Structures are given as C-alpha cells and as structure tokens.
Amino acid sequence: MTMNSRLMRPRASGVAYHPEAKAWRTAALANGGTVSASTMQAVSDFCAAIDAAGIRSSFLRLNLVCGGNLAAARTPLYRGASATGTQYGAAIDTNVGPYASGDYSQATGLTGDGATKYLDTTLTIGTLATFGANYSNVHVSVYNRTSVTGPQFGGSDYAGYYNTNACALDCGTNATIGDTAAYFQAGSSSNGDHDMYASTAGYGFTLALFSSAATGLMARQGAALSVTVRNVAASAFQITDATPLLFGGCWSSYDAGSGPVPTPYYADGAVAGYSVGTVGNLSFAGGRAAFNSAMAAFQSALGRAV
C-alpha cells in the first residue's frame, strides 16, 4: 500500500511556551539579550510549576539569571504579583560596578568580586510596603552556586540603628551581617533589628520568610534550618523608604563610626537567582516544597544545579 504523502511530512514545530516565559524572552531581547530554545523551555517549565503550586502571587520580583548573555541575565521574569497587574521596578536590573561580560555565563551564573559589583533591582523597600509585603509578611530567596561571603540580597541593613528599614538576606559561609552562616532581617525598629539566624553554613537555594512577627522560617535546598528569631517588636516598613534592594550585595544605612551613611556591601561567589515578595502559600510546607522543586528543576535543566 502506498503511504499517503501527507502523513510523511513532519508536523509544524511550534512550541507552546508559557505566556510569562514568552513575555520574559520579549523583554530580554528588547534589553539586548539572547535566549536559546532550551533556556526558553526551562523558563516555561518553571512558570508552569509555579502556577500549578498556587504560589505565583507571592512574587513581586524574581530573576532566574539566565540567557545567553549578561543583558538577558539582568532581565527579571516576574515584576509583580501577576502578569496582568501592576508591574514594579524596571524591566532590567541595573548593572553597578559594573559586572563585565566575563562575569556571567549561563552555566555558572553571575560571579561577584566582593568589592565593587552588584545589581540594583530598582525595587524599593517602600514599594514592598505599598504592595503589602512587610516584616511579618515577606519572603526573600537566593540561589548560590558557590560559597559566598557578604549579603546576597537586600537594602537598609542594620535596621535597629536610626529607626531605618531593612530587608536583607545573607546566606554566606562568613556572613558580614552578624556572625552567623545564614541571616535574614526585615522590619523597622528603634529597639533592635527584627531578624533570624541559623548557624548552618552551606550554599544552594535558600528561602527565608517571616509569616508573622514571631514566626520565621529558613530552608536550604528544601531542608528546614534551625533558626533563632529575635526582636519581634519591629514596626512595619516605611512606604517613604526609597532604598533600593540589591542582588549580589546589600545597602546599609549604618556605618560604624560614620552614622547613617549609605554604604554598600558586596558579595563574592556565583549567584544564580533571587526572589522577593509576600508569603502567601509559601507559609505552607507544600508551597515551599513546590518552589524548591521548581527551582531545582530549573537549575538542573541549565546544568548548574548544586
């Protein structure tokens, strides 16, 4: 029997990517970035996993630090609690230092020097307050591919001094914020900085959140860390605080001997993603596990999981 020639033709090769993955690619290309089909698939799968877990609305800003060049890596995937709602901050993280092209590859992530370089997310602590994220309803996550010294994400550190705000995560093995291996700070208080810390050193995917004034959680690679929560009387973020949140570093509003002078801290080592936003369904173990699984699958797809 003669085979129908139409059955022998290859089917159309259209790929149904997630809408937010396609929007990210459009933004990355507009920023001068390059994106491969395999990266698109990994980003699309990540978006689908986040949606399926019911945790999408927890993210105010998220960057997977991926793509074929530094411009793509500086393009965030999420900039609001939904794709159709208000978008916060710029469509690209500002390169300060700056990072050079050789500081980034998709296989390794973004490598800092601990002295001059960070990304300004353009998202401010005041915007967190406006959005509804506050010291008792806030999460931050970072993905470290290597041991890191210095805070990886945040702004207005040392909140207890001068009644300033703080939202900072340091999960380096030699933390410069305090003397612990993992440290998360959020809030505004003249009586002491609202924070928690864990003494377990390590690297990988670290998620930290405060779901209430006294309830703080930290997990690394999906495994809960034993934490100590301090100074639960902190007040809410101030809407007027225009301090930007940094990735690969952290602004400090306090400098020993100088008073409330903006002083940047810088991280070294390789970083490969961050998120910041509210807690939402991340307050549930299932939500946190789903986020960890989505991040692990994404980093594995790019060949850079640790």
pLDDT digits 0-9 by tens, 143-178: 999 988 878 898 864 433 444 678 889 887 654 444
Residue 145 domain-assigned (yes or no): yes
* Token pair for 146: 């290597």
What is the structure's pLDDT at 262?
59
Residue 8 domain-assigned (yes or no): no
Asked whether 122 and 256 are in contact (CB, 8 A), the reply is: no
Please name the amino acid found at residue 203.
Y
Please name the amino acid found at residue 294.
A
Residue 175 domain-assigned (yes or no): yes
- Domain count for the chain, please give it: 1
Q: Whole-angstrom Cα distance, residue 74 to residue 230?
A: 34
Q: What is the pTM of this model?
A: 0.90
Q: Whole-angstrom Cα distance, residue 66 to residue 58?
A: 21
Residue 9 domain-assigned (yes or no): no
Residue 173 domain-assigned (yes or no): yes
Q: How buried is residue 233: exposed, middle or buried, by Cβ count under 10 Å (0-12/13-18/19+)?
A: exposed
Q: How far is CA 288 from CA 36, 197, 202, 277, 280, in A?
A: 29, 19, 19, 14, 10
Q: Which residues pair with 183 in a beta bridge?
A: 170, 197
Reported confidence tier of residue 218, pLDDT bands at 50, 70, 90? very high
Which DSSP category does 167 fall into?
E
Reported confidence tier of residue 261, pLDDT bands at 50, 70, 90? low
What is the structure's pLDDT at 11?
38
Parallel/antiparallel/unpaired status of strands 244-247 and 118-124: antiparallel
Task: Please report, for the domain that includes residue 98, its CATH number.
Answer: 2.60.120
φ/ψ of 304, rounded to 5, equals: -130, 20
What is the structure's pLDDT at 240?
81
Its domain, for residue 277, covers 51-301
φ/ψ of 21, rounded to 5, equals: -65, -40
Residue 240 domain-assigned (yes or no): yes
Residue 219 domain-assigned (yes or no): yes
Residue 35 domain-assigned (yes or no): no
